[in-house]
Amino acid sequence: MKKLLILLFAVLTLSLSAGKVNTKYINGFPSTAYNITLSSDVSYWSMYGVKTLSAPYVIGVTGTPVNGECIVLAYDGSSITTNNNAVTVFGVALSGTPDPTGLSGWLSAAQGKYIFVAVYKSTVWEVNYFRTSGSTHWIGKSDIGAIGNDTTIQVTSSGGIRIKPLSITSAHISTAAAIPYSKLDLIGSLVNADVDSSAAIDLIKMKALTASKALVSNAGGVIVPSAVTSTELGYVSGVTSPIQTQMGTKITAGGGAIVDADVNASAAIAHSKMAALTASKALVSDGSGVVSPSSVTSTELGYVSGATSNLQTQITALGSGTSAVTYSNLTGATVLTSLKANITVNSSGGGFNITLPLASTITAGNFTEFFLIGVNTAKILTQGSDKILNIYNAVVTSDTLTPTKRGVMVYSDGSANWIIGRKY
């Protein structure tokens, strides 16, 4: 600080020697800005008085400075109300200072006056300033030793005052300091005791594990994913006792222990899971009551489809090709599958068709006789490529019963023809 006083004295001396010897006092801080006139003979300026700012306030210069020109300004801000507006002196914004109370506190009466020394160098003003605070002496290194023992505050080699690097310890930090978390270095230093028991840390903040796996603790007691998928784990849902124990009571090592009671009535076990049998065979129960294939093929079994009574009884009744059973009073279209001795055709309700069996399915010589009842015609048809040979040896595929020609007897040649034996 002594060096600063010597510098200030030298500047004042230089100003006086240059012919600028007057002091000008400016009361009230006029308007929103004030420019010091360089062409005046004033070398020392003093600004004071009451001022309430409604906009930023600037103190500058008017005129063309010369290299080495110096201005000294005493600035008394003890009666200024800034309303958070900046005050700039020779390009130095007072609101940019690190004072914790802000600009209003920086310019308060408690802070006292400021002295600015501005020297024009080449193209810019170099500005130095300090606060007088009404002091008559300055703080030196010996003063620091008395209040801090040079532990946290020290004087640098250039005469400045600073906080000694790495000297602030926990004891120097207030419990209400509220230091931002971002300024703490906690990497690798957190331990279990640092986490509150009610912290309820979100699971999404934990390191991601392999997806959709059941979790287990490894040999070190750490949670890790297992080989079991979450779907597989779900299969044990609803189990009420050890699975192996339950299985052991159901199935023995040699197999064959499952009995009827073990199978649920609605199990609907797929046939594909049963042992395969001989293909395309009708099934029967063998001497042990077990389902097994018979010698009858599935095709042969199909031949009984449509039977309406005991087949052997029907075959016996057919005798030598005729039948004692008569289709009496047929009243609608009919496809015959075998022959009967007599068939009565009732067309009272309207005409209709009667289709003969294939001649190749009837033993040669077997016959049937049709007789029409009613006033409408009825037509006798053949199947496939079968033909009807009439008494004139004509080949046709149908014959018609009419009220004037009511009866006809036909028989099979066992091949592909039906022969009319008589017609009346």
Single-letter code of the amino acid located at 58: V
| Average pLDDT of the segment spanning 114-131 | 83
| 52 beta partners | 81
Q: pTM of the prediction?
A: 0.31
Calpha distance 163→155 (Å, rounded): 9
pLDDT over 70 percentage in the chain: 75
Q: Lowest mean pLDDT: which of 16-30, 79-93, 238-252, 334-348?
A: 16-30
Unique residue bearing structure tokens 């004295």: 9
Calpha distance 369→208 (Å, rounded): 92
Q: What pLDDT, on the 0 to 100 scale, is given for residue 141?
A: 53
Q: What pLDDT, on the 0 to 100 scale, is given for residue 386?
A: 92
Q: What pLDDT, on the 0 to 100 scale, is given for residue 22?
A: 72
Reported confidence tier of residue 397, pLDDT bands at 50, 70, 90: confident
Calpha distance 312→122 (Å, rounded): 138
Q: Could you tell me which residues come within 8 angstroms of residue 423 by beta carbon, excluding any fewer than 6 positions away?
A: 390, 391, 399, 405, 407, 408, 409
Neighbouring C-beta atoms of residue 292, cutoff 10 Å: 14
Using only C-alpha atoms, the chain has a radius of gyration, in whole angstroms, of 63
Q: Check residues 201 and 172 and name the one with the higher pLDDT.
A: 201
Q: Check residues 258 and 191 and name the one with the higher pLDDT.
A: 191
Q: Which long-range contacts (CB under 8 A, 24 or more apart) does 393-402 make?
A: 399/423, 401/345, 401/347, 401/370, 401/372, 401/377, 402/372, 402/377
Residue 357's closest CA among 330, 380, 332?
A: 380
Could you tell me whether strands 42-48 and 22-27 are parallel, antiparallel, or unpaired per DSSP bridges?
parallel
Tokens of 110: 């408690």
| Average pLDDT of the segment spanning 26-31 | 68
Could you tell me whether strands 387-389 and 407-412 are parallel, antiparallel, or unpaired per DSSP bridges?
unpaired
Q: Do residues 354 and 371 touch, judged by C-beta distance below 8 A?
A: no
Calpha distance 275→9 (Å, rounded): 119
How confident is the model over 194-243, as pLDDT tens digits? 888 898 888 888 888 899 998 889 998 888 999 999 998 899 899 899 98
Q: What pLDDT, on the 0 to 100 scale, is given for residue 150?
A: 58
Q: Check residues 413 and 307 and name the one with the higher pLDDT.
A: 413
Q: Lowest mean pLDDT: which of 99-113, 256-270, 272-286?
A: 99-113
Single-letter code of the amino acid located at 361: T
Query: CA neighbours within 13 Å on the CB side: how many for 167?
Result: 11
Q: What pLDDT, on the 0 to 100 scale, is given for residue 219?
A: 92
Unique residue bearing structure tokens 């008569």: 326
Residue 116's closest CA among 87, 85, 82?
A: 87
Q: Check residues 83 and 264 and name the one with the higher pLDDT.
A: 264
Give the phi and the psi of residue 132 in degrees, each rounded to 5: -85, -40
Q: What pLDDT, on the 0 to 100 scale, is given for residue 319?
A: 47
Q: Could you tell me which residues come within 8 angstroms of residue 220 by beta carbon, excluding any fewer than 6 positions away?
A: none
Calpha distance 366→411 (Å, rounded): 5
Q: Check residues 229 and 157 and name the one with the higher pLDDT.
A: 229
Calpha distance 389→417 (Å, rounded): 7
pLDDT tops 80 at residue 8: no
Of these ranges, 65-79, 195-209, 294-308, 369-383, the one predicted with the greatest mean pLDDT is: 369-383
CATH entry, 319-423, from 2.60.120, 3.30.70, 2.60.40, 1.10.3470: 2.60.120
Output the CA torsion 319→322→325→329 (10° steps).
170
Calpha distance 37→276 (Å, rounded): 119
